[in-house]
């Protein structure tokens, strides 16, 4: 899909649809919408007075063949209260408009930004919203509606003097959105099409094409490095594990900048192992590699955006299967760090592979760590599918991360990680155990387990179990994988 900036007057644009957004207020026909209304002969004010144009968030008003406009249609999208409007809302407006028009076989449209809205940030978020909204989870359907496709989007309302800077931001938005969709495409793959080996191949191909350094550790190298926690999860499957390492080395590193270590859980299918999951809903466990896919997508974006900070991405990948060689509840494993683990539940496997992942990232030189994982059902109980659970060992680092989340419109909520919770995973026959002994706080104890392997290194854990997959389509987003946290992570790295 092509996205461009257009500086022509909106009334003269020959397009399938002219789109803009209206605010929920006493008189919604103000500013540029008043200009559109004058061009349309006062039609919009009549619709507002009749109650048909409400401007409630993401409500649509579609007008065919509007007089005074060259556009075949005029679509107004509700943007809610003006005082609550921000870039996150604009991103959703762009995405919702695209999906609404796409479902009606529209091929192209122009989005008119409101007065004062022709900023660099607006160009970026409109591009992000449109491109992310255009993703569909129907790759394997044979009866796709191929005629329903948006080919071209133009962003209107910028002057010639504003255009150059806005085009750079639009390009940045495209890079981020396409990387988010790359992540979503990985997450959407069924486990028979995406084993650990295939994930490693795809990650390696992306890294090489993007100019990133890549190393894929096979099962022999993993064993040589004594990554016992990763191997313990992998031993039940005929599919061998992989440890994916992708490195971005900046052309000129900023003095004093940290080395960011991004670690992502990539269990390409999770049955729960011997502690097997219920059959109902198990098919969704193909998405248990979403954390790893997110980190790989972040690296794709960073390769193009070129921040002045080194980033090391470590993705441990395996299946968790109940085979004859599978680990059993009660087994004791030794992680790469030398710490021993009593495995009380084989379905708490993500924290095991992350234990070796974060330790290896530290060995490779990471000074600050962030891991992302579909780790616990407990985080869904706590935060539903709305917020990502954020756990941090270093408050200034965590605050900086949360500021990036706010800037990019991703909802995240900091969870407690007090030392009192460490008692919950204190081992009786090993150093630690992989679940608590029925004391609650499952999301917290999962985070505390990973923290055991981070030492004094500033570290953030993202539990994305409730937010990495949409069970129901949103007006601005298809059902399925979301690519959550990618925008925040890119923003964080770029902020250095």
Catalytic residues: 277, 351
Question: Could you tell me if 153 and 173 are in contact, meaning their C-beta atoms sit under 8 angstroms apart?
Answer: no
| Burial grade of 431 (CB within 10 A; 0-12, 13-18, 19 or more) | middle
The pair of structure tokens assigned to 290 is 């979403």
**482 backbone φψ class: left, alpha, beta (φ>0; ψ -120 to 50):** alpha
E strand or H helix that includes residue 463: strand 459-463
Contacts of 362 (CB under 8 A, 6+ apart): 261, 369, 454, 455, 457
CB contact set of 9 (below 8 Å; sequence gap of 6+):
none
Nearest alpha carbon to residue 154 among 115, 118, 111: 111
Reduce the DSSP state of residue 474 to 3 states and report it.
Answer: strand
- 388-392 and 18-22 beta bridge pairing: unpaired
Burial group, residue 209, by CB count within 10 angstroms (0-12, 13-18, 19+): exposed
Q: Any idea of the CA torsion for 280, 286, 287, 293, to the nearest 10 degrees?
A: 170
Distance CA 340, CA 333 (A): 6
| Phi, psi of 386, rounded to the nearest 5 degrees | -100, -55
Alpha-carbon distance 403 to 488, whole Å? 9
The interaxial angle of helices 160-188 and 120-133, nearest 10 deg, is 30
**How far is the C-alpha of 106 from the C-alpha of 72, rounded, in Å?**
10
Beta strand ranges found along 23-171 (DSSP E): 60-64, 73-78, 108-112, 152-156
Structure tokens belonging to residue 464: 């994305």
Element (H, E) at 488: helix 486-495
The two tokens of residue 248 are: 């971005």
> Within 10 A of 86 (CB to CB), how many other CB atoms are there?
12
C-alpha distance from residue 165 to each of 158, 204, 407 (Å): 11, 33, 19
Indicate the length of the chain as a whole number: 496
- Other beta carbons within 10 angstroms of residue 256's beta carbon come to 6
């Amino acid at each position: 899909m092509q996205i461009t900036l257009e500086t022509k007057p909106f009334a003269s644009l020959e397009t399938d649809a002219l789109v803009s957004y209206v605010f929920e207020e006493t008189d919604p026909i103000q500013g540029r919408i008043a200009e559109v209304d004058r061009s349309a002969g006062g039609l919009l004010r009549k619709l507002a007075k009749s109650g048909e144009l409400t401007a409630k968030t993401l409500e649509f008003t579609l007008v065919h063949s509007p007089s005074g406009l060259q556009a075949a249609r005029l679509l107004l999208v509700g943007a809610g209260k003006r005082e609550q409007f921000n870039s996150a809302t604009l991103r959703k407006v762009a995405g919702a408009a695209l999906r609404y028009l796409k479902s009606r076989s529209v091929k192209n449209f122009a989005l008119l930004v409101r007065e004062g809205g022709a900023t660099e940030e607006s160009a970026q978020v409109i591009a992000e919203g449109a491109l992310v909204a255009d993703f569909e989870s129907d790759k394997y359907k044979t009866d796709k509606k191929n005629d329903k496709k948006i080919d071209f989007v133009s962003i209107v309302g910028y002057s010639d003097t504003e255009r150059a800077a806005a085009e750079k931001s639009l390009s940045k938005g495209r890079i981020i959105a396409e990387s988010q969709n790359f992540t979503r495409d990985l997450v959407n793959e069924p486990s028979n099409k995406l084993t650990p080996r295939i994930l490693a191949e795809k990650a390696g191909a992306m890294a090489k094409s993007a100019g990133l350094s890549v190393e894929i550790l096979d099962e022999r190298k993993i064993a040589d490095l004594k990554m016992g926690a990763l191997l313990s999860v992998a031993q039940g499957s005929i599919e061998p594990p992989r440890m994916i390492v992708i490195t971005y080395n900046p052309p000129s590193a900023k003095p004093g900048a940290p080395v960011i270590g991004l670690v992502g859980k990539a269990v390409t299918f999770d049955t729960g192992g011997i502690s097997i999951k219920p059959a109902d809903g198990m098919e969704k466990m193909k998405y248990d590699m979403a954390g790893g896919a997110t980190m790989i997508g972040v690296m794709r974006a960073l390769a193009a955006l070129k921040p002045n900070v080194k980033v090391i991405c470590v993705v441990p990948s395996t299946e968790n299967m109940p085979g004859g060689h599978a680990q059993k509840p009660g087994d004791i494993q030794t992680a790469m760090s030398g710490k021993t683990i009593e495995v009380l539940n084989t379905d708490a496997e993500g924290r095991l592979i992350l234990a070796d992942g974060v330790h290896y990232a530290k060995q490779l030189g990471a000074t600050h760590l962030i891991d992302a994982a579909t780790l616990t059902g407990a985080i869904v109980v706590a935060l539903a599918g709305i917020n990502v659970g954020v756990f941090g060992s270093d408050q200034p680092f965590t605050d900086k991360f949360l500021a990036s989340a706010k800037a990019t419109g991703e909802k995240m909520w900091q969870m407690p990680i007090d030392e009192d919770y460490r008692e919950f995973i204190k081992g009786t026959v090993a150093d630690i155990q992989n679940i608590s002994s029925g004391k609650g706080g499952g999301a917290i104890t999962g985070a505390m387990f990973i923290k055991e392997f981070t030492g004094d290194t500033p570290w953030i854990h993202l539990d994305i179990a409730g937010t990495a997959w949409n069970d129901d389509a949103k007006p601005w987003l298809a059902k399925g994988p979301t690519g959550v946290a990618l925008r925040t992570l890119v923003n964080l790295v770029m902020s250095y």
